[in-house]
A = this chain, B = another copy of it.
Amino acid sequence: MKATTRISKEERRREIIEAATREFAVGGLHGTPVDAIAKQVGVSQPYLFQLFGTKKDLFIATVHRTFERTVAVFRTAAADAGEDASQADILMSMGVAYGNLLDDRSLLRMQMQAYAACGDEEIRDVVRDEMLRLVSFVQSASGAPEAAIREWLAYGMLMNVVAVMDLTKVDADWARIMCPVNGTEIVAMAIDAVGKAERTQAKAQKK
């Protein structure tokens, strides 16, 4: 197999992480053979080990990339909200963007895999670190008070679970409790969530 054109280490690394996201998303760290990732990229399996050292290291690199992409989406959303956007506007914009991001089930599932792998100390440390970055960014970008951010995060986590179960595809009363708008994308939930956060925030500012 030498149909592959040669590209730089860094490029290849990026390609591999993209593929790894898709594969790890389904099987998790232990359920995904490195072979499968290599095959998807069209590169030999030993090369992955040369580039990443260990399967776990590749997993960690993938976790990093996952959170990085999320923060990037938040950054864009915050910028799109405009200069004179209120704190609530910014949270709203980021919430909607996150809802759209969840359409990429690979990214979402990869995030769940990261949480699930927190039984491993090394991975837990990485996940904490990534979460630190994410929360810090949201805080500084929105300027919203802690309580509002917490609530916004809480709804985000609910959205994760809704998305991972593909609840939007379930047409049942109970499903609508978790995800008010069935059959549609989760974005609507984000809007609803930010609406609440806004009220919380208004209260906090009155004090």
Contacts and interface: CB of A to CB of B under 8 A. Distances in A.
A128 B161 contact: no
Is the contact region of chain A dominated by helix, strand, or loop, or is it mixed? helix
Given A135-B178, A150-B158, A118 B164 contact: yes
A164 B124 CA distance: 8
Given A150-B178, A177-B135, A116 B116 contact: yes
A181 B161 CA distance: 24
Interface stretch (A25-33, A35-43, A67-75, A85-93): A25-33
A191 interface: no
B116 A28 contact: yes
A45 interface: no
Interface residues on A, range: 35 or more
Contact of A150 (B132, B157, B180, B200): B180
A198 B119 CA distance: 34
A153 B135 contact: no
Given A109-B116, A112-B116, A118-B164, 8 more contacts: A28-B116, A109-B119, A112-B118, A115-B164, A128-B170, A135-B178, A139-B177, A151-B154
- Enumerate the 4 nearest inter-chain pairs by beta-carbon distance, A residue then B residue, closest first: A30-B31, A116-B116, A157-B157, A26-B119
